[in-house]
A and B are shown apart, each in its own frame.
Chain A
Amino acid sequence: MSNLAPQVIFIGLGVIAVVSALLVVVGRNLFHAAMFLGAYMLSIAGFYFLLDADLVGIMQVFVYVGGVIVMLLFGVMLTAQMTNVRMVSAVKQRGGTVLSVIVLVALLASIFKKTAFVISQATPAQNAISLVGKLFMTDYVLPFEVVSVLLLAALIGAIVVAREEGRPQ
């Protein structure tokens, strides 16, 4: 039982992830595509929870499902002409796309089958959040601070780009 349950959940999540990701790409309706993208992001969060990575899972839900998808839907719905756009992808791209996807999947599959990746022997941390917080303030303090500079730069950049039309020059 204890071994079977994670297996079943994993396969279930995997099927949801692959099917919804495919529907994002082949779907013709932009709104539906955004919803399927949300489903895909949620199933990825499920993987993180399955791996005992609670914090990463929560962040995945917060940032991607709560932030990115909602913003995407706002963008789709506030742009009047876009709500019911039926996208037509060029036929000439289809063959190449399918081929490169098959090659990539085959390559990655063979890699993951053959390679012995390093697996940590440590038991999963019980209070991951406080542990991560401590690491941010000690071992990883420099990347943590540089990320905050990056966010500041992104914020300024977003304002500069967004203000573009309002300010005549």
Chain B
Amino acid sequence: MEWLQQVNWFVLAPELIIFSFAIIVLVGELFLSANAKRSLGVVTLIGLIASLASVAGIWNIETTQFNGMFSVDLTANILKAILLVTTSLMVLGALKSRFSMGEGEFFSLILFSVLGTMFMASSADLIMLFIALELTVLPAYVLTAGRRSARSSEAALKYFLLGIVASVILLYGMTLLFGLTGQTNFIAIAKELAKQKIDATLAVAMLMIIVGLGFKVAAVPFHFWAPDVYEGSPVPVATYLAAGPKAGGFAAIIHLFPVALASVKPAWAMVFAALAVLSMTVGNFVALAQNQIRRLLGYSAIAHTGYLLIGLAVADQIGYSSMIFYFFVYSLAALGAFLVVLATTERGIGESVTDFAGLHKRAPMVAFAMAVFLFSLVGLPPLAGFMGKLFLFSAAVKSNLIWLAVVAVLNSVVSFGYYVTVIRQMYLAPPVTDKAMPVSAPLYLSIMLIVAAIIVLGVYPTAFLSIINL
């Protein structure tokens, strides 16, 4: 057992903490009284924050452990930190929510999914990547089915079946890659591929992997599950899905493609550029026609996947860094918007866009927060979304992808069209009732924290950029 002593367990601390808390919360569900179970959300929150602190503790460590299975570097740590921050805010916002399953089950499934995403961010091996990916999405399928309604079941079934198909295609691509190189480690694959000349099989393997991961990040044309899932799942789950699992998908892409498939970089950069254009355009134009708020946010998420893929089309360090920054900014705004939807659905409204009519009279601060989130998603200064888009699009311009930047800017203009309908409803339409809409304290706190973060990141982005070394 001497090899066990060679492992640097410290770098595994964030994952171990999340795993322990998942078990604690699960056991709590078994033994606690119905009243005490209410506190399991707080326990989950403590676990997420403890894990975040341990990520900070290993921030600059760069190492590979477990026979090349698990690698820690700055990119992985940043994505884990983003994931933990957004999930903490989600859990904070959902503390007073009612769940259709036991609190312990709900929070432990969330933690298992977070654990999978963290392993995905750190995997340096095809086997590890696949298992981590399954651990990310499997709890998400169950959580989607949580609302006892036909729509929830339909969303879960669609998500599950399409997810399985995507996994199978991904696995097929991985086996072809293994057949070509005889290796599963990313770096070893790159070494083998550098010796060979590029042939059609490699292209097919690459495309299959892109299709598989494209499903996970909901890029067009692999996006069909996303609007249904965002609409059908319980609101706290949709809030989690809007940010969490996507971090894993992008982490996997950032680690797999530039390392293992470096020899065919122009090819996959081109494919990602095409997917970016498709996702932006389809997402934004279909969103224009939506009148259900969660479907609208679902298509907006697809469009934002498109913006994010620009970073991969650029395919250099500036591109990846801008992408990570934009991912943080986007997930904060999307998270905030979903939390506002959560606040309204808890008062029995908030399914359709017209439900937001006159919200600024009933809950002025919440309406203001929603406006901030939506303007940030559009990319208006001085909000964080503007800085994010600025970095991302200028990265595209720097690497001679001016056409891509132009398409992205035009798309942002289009997206203004549907975000502004929500804002117009909130501020200009007359309210159905003048009764104030109360919001529970933790949810209010979570929403306001996100507003503060978006404004700070928009005015002073250097604070974050110096951390991610952009």
A residues lining the B interface (CB < 8 Å) = 107, 110-111, 114-115, 117-118, 120, 138-143, 146-147, 149-150, 152-154, 156-157, 160-161, 164, 169
A156 to B101, CA, bound (A): 11
Q: Is the CB of A142 within 8 A of B70?
A: yes
Total number of residue pairs linking A and B with CB closer than 8 Å: 85
The size class of the interface chain B forms with chain A is: 35 or more
Contacts A138-B3, A157-B139 known; 6 new A-B pairs at CB < 8 A: A111-B204, A115-B201, A142-B65, A142-B69, A153-B112, A160-B109
Q: Is the CB of B180 within 8 A of A157?
A: no
What are 28 A-B contacts with C-beta separation under 8 Å?
A107-B204, A111-B201, A111-B204, A114-B199, A114-B200, A118-B179, A118-B180, A139-B67, A140-B69, A140-B127, A141-B66, A143-B69, A143-B125, A146-B116, A146-B128, A146-B131, A147-B131, A149-B19, A149-B112, A149-B115, A150-B116, A150-B134, A150-B135, A153-B113, A154-B138, A157-B138, A160-B101, A164-B148
8 Å CB contacts to A: which residues of B1-28?
A: 3, 19, 26
Q: Which residues from B are CB-within-8-Å of A156? A: 26, 105, 108-109, 112, 142
Any A CB within 8 A of the CB of B225: no
Chief secondary structure at chain A's binding surface: helix
A43 to B199, CA, bound (A): 31
The CB with the most chain A CB atoms within 10 A, among B116, B125, B146, B201, is that of: B201
8 Å CB contacts to A: which residues of B86-114?
A: 100-101, 105, 108-109, 112-113
Q: Closest 6 interchain pairs by CB?
A: A157-B142, A118-B182, A142-B66, A153-B112, A117-B179, A115-B201
Q: Is the CB of A117 within 8 A of B142?
A: no
Any A CB within 8 A of the CB of B119: yes
The CB with the most chain A CB atoms within 10 A, among B108, B109, B142, B200, is that of: B142
A142 to B15, CA, bound (A): 12
8 Å CB contacts to A: which residues of B166-185?
A: 176, 179-182
* CB nearest to B134 among chain A residues: A150
Q: Which residues from A are CB-within-8-Å of B192? A: 118
A107 to B172, CA, bound (A): 13
Output the least CB separation between B126 and chain A (Å): 10
Q: Is the CB of B141 within 8 A of A153?
A: no
Output the least CB separation between A141 and chain B (Å): 7
Any A CB within 8 A of the CB of B132: yes
A107 to B203, CA, bound (A): 12
Q: Is the CB of B109 within 8 A of A157?
A: yes
